[in-house]
Chain A
Amino acid sequence: MSFAAEKATPLLDEGREAGRSAFLPRFIGGVAVLAILPLAIWWAGRSGLVSLLTIYAAKTNQVAAADAALRLSPNDPDAHLVRGAILEANSVSAAVEEYKQAARVRPEDYLLWLSLARAQELNGDVGGAIAAASQGVRLAPYYARPHWLLGNILVRSGQAAEGFSELRLAGESDTGLLPAIIDLEWQLSGGDAEFVKRAIHPDSPESFKALADYFRKHGKANDAIEMFRAAGTAAEQERRQYLQELISAKSFKEAALLWSIDHAPPGIGQLNDPGFERPSNLDEPGFGWRRDNKAESLTLSLDTNNPREGRFSLRVDFNGVSDPGAAIISQLILVEPRAHYELRFAARTEGIVSGGLPYVVVFDAGSNNVLGQTSAFTKAKTDWQDYVIDFQGGESTSTVQLVLRRQPCSSSSCPVFGHLWLDNVSLQKL
């Protein structure tokens, strides 16, 4: 106890001394804060006012506001930028000086360099524009815009190879720019697809697709198909759309080329799945079996019961109204022009009742001229019967279309009921 009392007094004295000695730094600190605070307030207020004046100048096109901002803060890059933008209307050279000031103050800002590059090109200083845009590229090498601007300036200045190289980098960074880049190269090369391919140097599905789409729109089917092939699985949907376009345009040779990317190539005089032995997508355009008649009253299926050959036959169930003119099922077949062919198939029917009975017809797919057809299938129940259609195309016949459809009805409503089977279709050149 006594020990504690003896020691307690000096300890309290020491605490007072320490408190007194700590007061001074606190006081000085407080004074410093009070002195710095107005400075900070002034600095913040000035920055705010400069920003306000700069934005006001940009909004109202008043150079006086930009001047006022620069009087408050002579090294404010935004104020220089806005002043340059305002001056650009009457004096591009004055604008260039302002942009240079802005870029000098904030040299790490690639957008300021790009603004300078634009103005310098407008001012006729192409070398300066290239240098400024190059600086923008160095600062933001993975952004599209610096490469885009530099590439365009280079191309305009006659340095096409260097410009296209920069534009390619822009396209790699932003694939949305690829069509514009391709179009520029297309226009400059006078529509030379090989030139465009070399310039773009595609190496991604996006770039292949962009080129394919451009060539497609400009009627370069073979180049488009080459690019669609290179694009791989990423372009399946686009290939299907293009295939439909080519078939609608009756460009069957090109359509066959495109079809062969995803399927076995269609041979001359060869049917695809002639015995209906495998399931297929009847909505897919091309050289397989295809159903155009979408009526719900029509049902198509592969039937294992009593096929003529193989494991299946095609079964068609008619259950009501459908458009007699639309193909129930059809297939495009490549043929030799002027060649004589014999189409054979087997069919059987059961209980078909209709004013428009089904039959098979062969068209010239290019001209839509009928080359040959069967008579209407019988209404009564039959066993398998063989049918033959002899036909010969003309000079321009490269593709025929085999179609199962119905005869026209005398009345507007044309229902049909019953069942029909087809099997063992073959085509032979005579």
Chain B
Amino acid sequence: MLKKSASLDGEMRSSIYTRLYLISAIIVLLFVFLIIQIQIGVFSASRDVSSSLEIRQQSIMAILKVSGNQSISVNSTKVIDGASILSGATIVTPNQVGARVVLGSIATLDIAPNTTVEPEFDRNGAMKVTLTQGCVILRAGKDTEGEVVTSRGIAGKTNSSEDGPLEVCFPQGAWPGLGIEQNHDVGLFYFARLAAFEVIGGRLRTNLSVGLDERGSNPGPSSP
């Protein structure tokens, strides 16, 4: 009896241990499965979020430069310096405000105040500028075909061998003195210089407590 009871005890013990092992294994497996599921879920969710904002087609974009805190109109919306310009955008500069569109090494387009223009460009190094009114200077890089078109037809094409700028006003008239400069080397300078001047001017204003300046202390989230 004692023997039997001991053997029974041992069997019971081994049976209990086996069950415990089994239960533990199942729990571990469930945890592993759960973790895998969570990871897959998180991964796919994050992939959904990031892919949902991927643009359909990589577009070539130009950089807009506008001096200081001024703004111009692109596709009938107000934009400021640093904006991205897509091919075919309608750019309108107001009175007293010029702008520059920089397309990497392909081309640079200086736009005078009171000008309406539509630059079209592609990756192959072609830039066509449709000038509705006002004045522009188009500088095309090497191997770039640049042309300015008005309602009267092609107003001019850039000469890539000479890398010279193409200056066009439509309708024909006096070249505006403010915001765009005919000197071939100072167009970019004009915008950068204005920006720098504004930075320094802003500091002087702050120091003299003459007026409010953008570069003051960083505002809180409630008062940007």
Contacts and interface: CB of A to CB of B under 8 A. Distances in A.
Interface of A: 51, 54-55, 58-59, 61, 78, 81-82, 84-86, 88-90, 95, 109-112, 115, 118, 121-122, 124, 139-145, 148-149, 152-153, 155-156, 158, 160-161, 164, 172-174, 176-177, 179-180, 182-184, 187-190, 192, 195, 198-199, 217
Chain B CB count within 10 A is highest, among A51, A109, A184, for A184
A160 B61 CA distance: 12
B56 A190 contact: yes
B33 to A, nearest CB: 31
B186 to A, nearest CB: 6
Across the A-B interface, give the 7 residue pairs with the lowest CB-CB distance, nearest first: A89-B189, A85-B196, A85-B192, A179-B77, A173-B224, A161-B53, A58-B197
Interface string B193-224: 10111011111100000000011001111001
B189 A81 contact: no
B120 to A, nearest CB: 13
24 contacts: A51-B200, A55-B201, A58-B200, A84-B192, A85-B195, A88-B188, A89-B187, A111-B215, A115-B195, A115-B199, A118-B63, A122-B102, A142-B224, A143-B218, A145-B80, A148-B82, A152-B63, A152-B84, A158-B58, A183-B74, A187-B59, A187-B86, A188-B59, A199-B53
Contact of B186 (A58, A61, A109, A198): A61
Nearest to B87: A187
Contact of B78 (A88, A176, A189): A176
Given A58-B196, A59-B197, A160 B53 contact: yes
B53 A195 contact: yes
B224 A160 contact: no
A148 B104 CA distance: 19
B185 interface: yes
A55 B78 contact: no
Contacts, number: 141
B172 interface: no
A277 B53 CA distance: 52
A183 B200 contact: no
Given A115-B199, A149-B82, A160-B54, 17 more contacts: A51-B200, A59-B197, A86-B193, A88-B188, A110-B218, A115-B195, A115-B196, A124-B104, A139-B218, A141-B218, A145-B80, A145-B82, A145-B214, A148-B80, A156-B84, A192-B56, A195-B53
B8 interface: no
Contact of B196 (A81, A164, A180, A199): A81
Contacts of B53: 160-161, 164, 195, 198-199
Nearest to A201: B53
Contact of B75 (A81, A174, A187, A189): A187
A55 B220 CA distance: 32
Contact of A179 (B58, B63, B78, B199): B78
B104 to A, nearest CB: 8
Contact of A161 (B54, B77, B199): B54
Interface string B4-26: 00000000000000000000000
B50 interface: yes
Nearest to A188: B55
Chain A CB count within 10 A is highest, among B54, B77, B83, B215, for B77
A11 B197 CA distance: 67
Contact of B200 (A54, A142, A145, A161): A54
Given A81-B200, A156-B84, A184-B83, A142 B218 contact: yes
Interface in B77-105: 77-84, 86, 89, 102, 104
A184 B85 CA distance: 8
A274 to B, nearest CB: 43
B59 A217 contact: no
A202 B74 CA distance: 22
B161 interface: no
Contacts of A188: 55-56, 59, 86
A182 B78 CA distance: 11
B45 to A, nearest CB: 14
Contacts of B221: 142
B57 interface: yes
B224 A144 contact: yes
Contacts of B189: 61, 85-86, 88-89
A156 B63 contact: yes
Contacts of B124: none
A122 B141 CA distance: 14
